Chains A and B, each alone.
Chain A
Amino acid sequence: MHATPAVHPPLAAWVRFAWLLPALLFALALGNGRWPLGVEFAWVAALDVAVAFHIDGLSRLFVLLITGIGALVLFYAPAYLAGDPRLASLVRLLLAFMAAMLGAVCADDLVLLFLFWEATSVLSFLLVGFDHEKPASREAARQALLVTGGGGLVLLAGLLLLLEAAPGLRLSTLSSLDAATVGQPLFAAGVALVLVGAMSKSAQFPFHFWLPGAMSAPTPVSAYLHSATMVKLGVYLLARFDPALSGVLSWWADALVAIGTLTAVWAAVLSLRERDLKRILAWSTVSALGTLTLLIGLPNEWGALAFAIFLLAHALYKAPLFFVAGNVDHATGTRSIDRLRGMRRALPLTATAAVLAGLSMAGLPASLGYVAKDVMSIAKSLSEPMWLVGAASVVVSAVGVAVAAVAALRVFFGPADGPPLAADGQGVSLRLDLPPLLLALCGLLLGLFPAWAEPVLLEAAGVVAPRLAGALPVLGLVDGPRLGGVAIVVALGAATYGCWDRFHLLLERLRPLDAFGPAAGYRLALRLVKSGGALVGRRMQNGRTGFYLCVSVLAVVALAAPLLPPPRWSATALDGADLGFAAAAALAVVGAVSAVAARDTLARLLAAGLVGVACAMVFLFRGAPDLAFTQLVVETVFVVVAAVALRRHRPLSPPPRVGALRAAVAVAFGALLGGLTLAVQQAPPDTQLSQFFLGASLPQAHGRNVVNVIIVDFRALDTLGEIAVVLLAAVAARPLVAALRGADAATAGRSVILAHAVAFLYPLMLFTAALVLLRGHNAPGGGFIAALLAVSASAAIALVFGPAAARSRLPLAPPALAAAGLVLALLSGLPALLLGQAFLTHQWGEITLGGFSFAFSTVLLFDLGVLCCVWGALAGFCLRLLGEGR
Chain B
Amino acid sequence: MNWADLNLMPAAPELFLFSAVSVLLLLDLFVSDAKRGITYVLSLAILAVAAVLQLAVAEPYAIHTFSNTFVSDPLSTLVKLAMYATTFAVLVYSRQYCADRGIFKGEYFTLSLFALAGMNIMVSASHFLSLYMGLELLSLCLYALIALQRDSVPATESAMKYFVLGALASGLLLYGMSMVYGATGSLELAAVAKSIGAGSANQVLLVFGLVFIVAGLAFKLGAVPFHMWVPDVYQGSPTAVALMIGAAPKLAAFVFVLRFLVQGLGPLVADWQGMLAIVAVLSMAIGNITAIAQTNIKRMLAYSTISHMGFLLLGLIAGNADGYSAALFYTVVYVLMSLVGFGILLALSRAGFDCETLDDLKGLNQRNSWYALLMLLAMFSMAGIPPLLGFFAKFAVIMSVVNIGLVWLAVFAVVMSLIGAFYYLRVVKCIYFDDAVDTAPIVVRGDMKLLLSVNAVALLVLGAVPERLVALCVEAMKQSLTVL
Partner-B contacts on A (CB < 8 A)? 1-2, 4, 42-47, 49, 111, 114-115, 118-119, 122, 125, 129, 132-133, 138, 141-142, 145-146, 149-150, 153-154, 156-157, 160-161, 163-164, 186, 189, 193, 529-534, 536-537, 540-541, 543, 545, 547-549, 551-556, 559-560, 563, 565, 676, 679-680, 682-683, 686, 688-689, 717, 838-839
CB distance from B252 to the nearest CB of A (A): 21
Query: Which stretch in B69-77, B207-215, B239-247, B259-267 binds the other chain?
Result: B207-215
Given A132-B432, A153-B414, A552-B226, CB of A161 within 8 Å of CB of B402? yes
B291 at the interface (CB under 8 A from A): yes
- 5 A-B residue pairings within 8 Å (CB atoms): A129-B432, A153-B421, A537-B231, A552-B228, A688-B185
- B225–A552 touching, CB < 8 Å: yes
CB distance from A474 to the nearest CB of B (A): 44
- A563–B403 touching, CB < 8 Å: no
Query: Which stretch in B18-26, B119-127, B465-473 binds the other chain?
Result: B465-473
Given A545-B160, A549-B165, CB of A157 within 8 Å of CB of B419? no
How does the 8 Å CB contact mask read for B140-180 relative to A, with 1 for contact and 0 for none? 00000000000000000000110011001100100000010
- B225–A111 touching, CB < 8 Å: no
Query: Which stretch in B42-50, B109-117, B385-393 binds the other chain?
Result: B385-393
Query: CB < 8 Å: which of A42, A540, A556 contacts B215?
Result: A556
- A679–B204 touching, CB < 8 Å: yes
Query: CB < 8 Å: which of A186, A189, A536 contacts B290?
Result: A536
Query: CB < 8 Å: which of A1, A111, A565 contacts B395?
Result: A111
CA–CA, A555 and B417, complex, Å: 25
Which residues of B from 202 to 234 have beta carbons under 8 Å from A?
A: 202, 204-205, 207-208, 211-212, 214-215, 219, 225-226, 228-229, 231-232
Residues of A within 8 A of B231 (CB): 537, 541
CB distance from A109 to the nearest CB of B (A): 13
- B293–A534 touching, CB < 8 Å: yes
B335 at the interface (CB under 8 A from A): no
Residues of A within 8 A of B386 (CB): 114-115, 118-119
Which residues of B from 437 to 468 have beta carbons under 8 Å from A?
A: 441-442, 465-467
Query: CB < 8 Å: which of A115, A529, A554, A563 contacts B207?
Result: A563
B275 at the interface (CB under 8 A from A): yes
- B185–A164 touching, CB < 8 Å: no
B425 at the interface (CB under 8 A from A): yes
CA–CA, A686 and B184, complex, Å: 9
- A552–B395 touching, CB < 8 Å: no
- A533–B172 touching, CB < 8 Å: no
B375 at the interface (CB under 8 A from A): no
- A138–B470 touching, CB < 8 Å: no
CB distance from B348 to the nearest CB of A (A): 12
Number of interface residues of B (CB under 8 A): 77
Given A1-B442, A530-B293, A688-B185, CB of A157 within 8 Å of CB of B411? yes
For the complex with contacts A132-B433, A142-B429, A193-B411, 19 further pairs of A-B residues with Cβ separation under 8 Å are A1-B367, A2-B368, A44-B392, A47-B470, A129-B429, A129-B433, A146-B421, A146-B425, A150-B421, A157-B398, A157-B410, A160-B398, A537-B231, A545-B161, A559-B275, A560-B211, A680-B202, A688-B185, A838-B2
B346 at the interface (CB under 8 A from A): no
Residues of A within 8 A of B432 (CB): 129, 132
Residues of A within 8 A of B398 (CB): 157, 160
- B407–A556 touching, CB < 8 Å: no
- B286–A536 touching, CB < 8 Å: yes
Residues of A within 8 A of B286 (CB): 536, 540
B399 at the interface (CB under 8 A from A): yes
B1 at the interface (CB under 8 A from A): yes
Residues of B within 8 A of A154 (CB): 414
CA–CA, A683 and B169, complex, Å: 27
- B205–A164 touching, CB < 8 Å: no
CA–CA, A142 and B185, complex, Å: 58
CB distance from B163 to the nearest CB of A (A): 9
- A122–B385 touching, CB < 8 Å: yes
CA–CA, A345 and B84, complex, Å: 72
Query: CB < 8 Å: which of B211, B289, B411, B422 contacts A556?
Result: B211
Query: CB < 8 Å: which of B168, B293, B470 contacts A46?
Result: B470
B37 at the interface (CB under 8 A from A): no
B292 at the interface (CB under 8 A from A): yes
Given A122-B385, A686-B182, CB of A563 within 8 Å of CB of B211? yes
CB distance from A850 to the nearest CB of B (A): 39
- B1–A839 touching, CB < 8 Å: yes
Instruction: Report the 5 A-B pairs with minimum CB-CB distance, sorted nearest first.
Output: A132-B433, A533-B293, A534-B293, A548-B228, A555-B225
Residues of B within 8 A of A556 (CB): 172, 211-212, 215
B369 at the interface (CB under 8 A from A): yes
- B292–A838 touching, CB < 8 Å: no
CB distance from A617 to the nearest CB of B (A): 23
Residues of A within 8 A of B442 (CB): 1
CB distance from A559 to the nearest CB of B (A): 5
- B225–A551 touching, CB < 8 Å: yes
- A559–B211 touching, CB < 8 Å: yes
Residues of B within 8 A of A534 (CB): 293
CB distance from B165 to the nearest CB of A (A): 6
CA–CA, A529 and B419, complex, Å: 8
B128 at the interface (CB under 8 A from A): no
Residues of A within 8 A of B368 (CB): 1-2
CA–CA, A145 and B421, complex, Å: 10
Query: CB < 8 Å: which of A533, A549, A554, A688 contacts B164?
Result: A549
Closest to A118 in B: B386
- B466–A680 touching, CB < 8 Å: no
CB distance from A142 to the nearest CB of B (A): 6
Residues of A within 8 A of B211 (CB): 556, 559-560, 563
Closest to A111 in B: B395
- B467–A529 touching, CB < 8 Å: no
- B165–A548 touching, CB < 8 Å: yes
- A160–B402 touching, CB < 8 Å: yes
Q: Which of A145, A189, A548 gathers the greatest number of chain B CB atoms within 10 Å? A: A548
- B429–A680 touching, CB < 8 Å: no
CB distance from A531 to the nearest CB of B (A): 8
CA–CA, A689 and B225, complex, Å: 38
B317 at the interface (CB under 8 A from A): no
- A555–B215 touching, CB < 8 Å: yes
- B205–A683 touching, CB < 8 Å: yes
CA–CA, A146 and B325, complex, Å: 30
- A45–B467 touching, CB < 8 Å: yes
CB distance from B180 to the nearest CB of A (A): 12
Residues of A within 8 A of B405 (CB): 164
Residues of A within 8 A of B208 (CB): 560, 563, 676, 679-680
B294 at the interface (CB under 8 A from A): yes
- B422–A529 touching, CB < 8 Å: yes
Which residues of B from 347 to 390 have beta carbons under 8 Å from A?
A: 366-369, 380, 385-387
CA–CA, A553 and B204, complex, Å: 20
CB distance from B323 to the nearest CB of A (A): 12
- A552–B470 touching, CB < 8 Å: no
- B215–A529 touching, CB < 8 Å: no
Closest to A717 in B: B1
Residues of B within 8 A of A189 (CB): 407
CA–CA, A553 and B168, complex, Å: 9
CA–CA, A114 and B411, complex, Å: 16
Q: Which of B161, B366, B433 gathers the greatest number of chain A CB atoms within 10 Å? A: B433
Q: Which of B214, B228, B275 gathers the greatest number of chain A CB atoms within 10 Å? A: B228
CB distance from B344 to the nearest CB of A (A): 15
B474 at the interface (CB under 8 A from A): yes
CB distance from A51 to the nearest CB of B (A): 11
Residues of A within 8 A of B290 (CB): 533, 536-537, 540-541
- B429–A549 touching, CB < 8 Å: no
B483 at the interface (CB under 8 A from A): no
Q: Which of A115, A161, A717 gathers the greatest number of chain B CB atoms within 10 Å? A: A115
- A46–B414 touching, CB < 8 Å: no
B418 at the interface (CB under 8 A from A): yes
- A46–B418 touching, CB < 8 Å: no
- B164–A545 touching, CB < 8 Å: yes
